[in-house]
Structure 1
Amino acid sequence: MMQQRLNSLYRLFLLILLVAVVSRPHAAPVDDVIYMAEVNYAEWAFVSSQISCELKHEIPGFGVARFLQIAGEKFHFLIDSYQPVPRKGSAEMWEISPSWEPGTPDPLVQTLQIEPGLRPVLLQRQPASWLLASLAKGQIGSIGFTDWDDKRKQVQLRLSPVNFQRPYLEFRKCLKALPEKGFADYRYSEVRFAFNLHDLDASAKALLKELADYLNRDERVKSVRIEGHADDQGRRKYNLKLSERRAMAVKAYLVEQGVEQARLATFHYGESRPKVRSRSQKARAKNRRVEILLSK
């Protein structure tokens, strides 16, 4: 009799336990947040200037992706977001084959950093080139990271290959025609002068012609500082005036080549700022100069 009662209690305990397990609330699966242009609305735009080539693509709801090459600088990829990203984090980048064109994606998974602010993604040449090549062969480029507001979620930024090929061909043509030199190559220039002269010789004119061509291409350069100098031979007052004539000669030639006068500012220092502190002829030749400094 006792055994029957124990068996009944045991069965009742198991039933209660089963009901408790079945009725226990389960966490609902959390879906990833995917930002990607729909097939019918995906667009790529090619944009160029005399010093840059750019491929631009909107990621609806998140921001704008850009492949960008500026003359004299390294090729890179970036995403500007509509809302600032609150904190730094790690991310991964990989290929996905689109459903409408199945293929074998590259198994490579690359790691990168998500940065806080309005430019969360910035890829340098190697990963940017890999991503560009993925799109060129029809793959979807995907960048995934943990949602900063809900760690259960993954955010995926996907670049659609739809309507990519035509602007991509224009982008490649632009790259071939882009000048090799850029701001870093021209930010500082120096023109040398013979003793007691302010006239520009052939080599000085060639240097200034190249600089003027660059300035006429790159509207980002807002100011050009032209500084005239002299060596220590002769009277200080005379050398001050000579350095002014040298600076004005450089300015006049740049204006002659089409550079806007409003961008140019001249200064002259005579012998007060030697490049080399020595009275040797070699040192004095280096001190007879005009320095040209560019600022964005």
Structure 2
Amino acid sequence: MRRLLLTIAMACPVLAHGVTFQERIEDVKWTVEGDRFECRLTQPVTGFGHGEFVRRAGEKPVFRIVTREAWLARGEAMLYAAASNWQSRDSDMLLGRIPVTNNERSAQSSQDQAGRLLTGMLEGRSPVVRHRTVYGDKLEVRLQPVSVRDAYQQYLDCVAGLLPVNFDQAHFTQVRFEGGGYELNERSIAHLDILLDYMREDKSVNRIRLDGYSDSSGDRLLNRDVSRRRALVVKNYLVANGFDEDAIIVRFHGERYPAKPNNSATNRAANRRVTIQMERVDERYALSEEQLEEHLDL
């Protein structure tokens, strides 16, 4: 590894602060890749790896550098929107620290840092990460803002097609109900439509669990029936809009397992709900319906 670093150092510009990885201006290339789940605006960096802006569905972008070798020192690197040569009157803009992740193979910014960095890059500034190797050698990775605008427009086109949510945001959610009712309101329908849109794209989601609940206002048996009807009305909406009925598990709990104590109108409203949990089940190890019932608290 030490020999590799010495070889790289001989091939790269050496500045006062250490070894810098950057593309020659004539070799700079921006690429855009993505789908409805994620969009990436990337610049390869010879001898190092690449730097990229990554935007997941339902989130703002982050910036990260990724190396092929696990030789970034642990800890935090420094992120800059550095002035270009023609901006000599301007100083480098420090955006803060970013943690080294992925077993010393990458460093990733926050969403706020990435937003400021992207703005700076469109103004001609260079994304720069300054850190050190596992051996203590100073290191700089610099992206060139050359010819980025056309690629950025492609990136924006990709972003426009992203889903409104990602799996982390969508896999466990809920819809609420008014009073003792079990009808879906416009807000709940809009929420379910978002989930359905996601599941049409993500074919790995092959099971949904619906759990119905009530507050403690009525009779226990009545509350149990209301919670059942709430879970079923959600199930029926999902099935009517294309989700496989056999892949939906319905449970109902009445007033048991409240989200909040039933001691105020606000808390009781929070307890009138159906929780929706998406699952990615490996069919090779999936339990039968009879086996599942042995594990479910009915």
Q: 1:261, 1:112 → 2: CA distance?
A: 48
Q: 1:33, 1:212 → 2: CA distance?
A: 50
Deviates more, 1:261-270 or 1:243-252: 261-270
Q: TM-score scaled to structure 2, two decimals?
A: 0.66
Is residue 273 from structure 1 mapped to residue 257 from structure 2 by the alignment?
yes
Q: CA deviation at 1:106?
A: 3.5
Q: 1:64, 1:283 → 2: CA distance?
A: 49
Aligned to 1:88: 75
Q: 1:280, 1:37 → 2: CA distance?
A: 62
Q: CA deviation at 1:159?
A: 0.9
Is residue 169 from structure 1 mapped to residue 153 from structure 2 by the alignment?
yes
CA contact (8 A) 2:73 2:133 kept: no
Unaligned stretches of 5+ residues in structure 2: 1-9, 281-298
Q: CA deviation at 1:66?
A: 1.7
Q: 1:49, 1:164 → 2: CA distance?
A: 20
Aligned to 1:50: 36
Deviates more, 1:240-249 or 1:156-165: 240-249
For the structure 1 residues 126 and 277, does the alpha-carbon distance in structure 2 shift closer, same or farther, using more than 3 Å as the test? Answer: closer
How far does the alpha carbon of each residue in 1:145-171 deviate from its partner, in whole angstroms, 9 at most, with x for none?
23331x4x4222121334422111222
CA contact (8 A) 1:88 1:114 kept: yes
Is residue 192 from structure 1 mapped to residue 177 from structure 2 by the alignment?
yes
Matches within 5 A, 1:222-233: 224-230=208-214, 233=218
For the structure 1 residues 161 and 244, does the alpha-carbon distance in structure 2 shift closer, same or farther, using more than 3 Å as the test? Answer: same
How far does the alpha carbon of each residue in 1:215-242 deviate from its partner, in whole angstroms, 9 at most, with x for none?
4456787764311124554464x75455
Question: Structure 2: which amino acid aligns with 1:55?
Answer: L
Match 1:290 to one of 249, 252, 274: 274
Q: 2:90, 2:106 → 1: CA distance?
A: 24
For the structure 1 residues 222 and 52, does the alpha-carbon distance in structure 2 shift closer, same or farther, using more than 3 Å as the test? Answer: farther
Question: Structure 2: which amino acid aligns with 1:68?
Answer: V
Mark the structure with the bigger radius of gyration: 1
For the structure 1 residues 164 and 205, does the alpha-carbon distance in structure 2 shift closer, same or farther, using more than 3 Å as the test? Answer: closer
Q: CA deviation at 1:192?
A: 1.4
For the structure 1 residues 173 and 189, does the alpha-carbon distance in structure 2 shift closer, same or farther, using more than 3 Å as the test? Answer: same
Aligned to 2:236: 252
For the structure 1 residues 51 and 62, does the alpha-carbon distance in structure 2 shift closer, same or farther, using more than 3 Å as the test? Answer: same
Q: 2:20, 2:36 → 1: CA distance?
A: 36
CA contact (8 A) 1:72 1:185 kept: no
CA RMSD in angstroms, aligned pairs only: 4.1
CA contact (8 A) 2:173 2:276 kept: yes
Is residue 128 from structure 1 mapped to residue 114 from structure 2 by the alignment?
yes
Identity of aligned residues (%): 24
Total equivalences in the alignment: 261
Unaligned stretches of 5+ residues in structure 1: 1-28
Q: CA deviation at 1:123?
A: 1.7
Match 2:84 to one of 78, 97, 104: 97
**SS where residue 255 of structure 1 aligns?**
helix
For the structure 1 residues 46 and 223, does the alpha-carbon distance in structure 2 shift closer, same or farther, using more than 3 Å as the test? Answer: farther
How far does the alpha carbon of each residue in 1:75-97 deviate from its partner, in whole angstroms, 9 at most, with x for none?
32112222223422543535253
CA contact (8 A) 1:50 1:218 kept: no
Question: Structure 2: which amino acid aligns with 1:271?
Answer: E
For the structure 1 residues 133 and 248, does the alpha-carbon distance in structure 2 shift closer, same or farther, using more than 3 Å as the test? Answer: same
Q: CA deviation at 1:285?
A: 6.4
Q: TM-score scaled to structure 1, two decimals?
A: 0.66
For the structure 1 residues 52 and 258, does the alpha-carbon distance in structure 2 shift closer, same or farther, using more than 3 Å as the test? Answer: farther
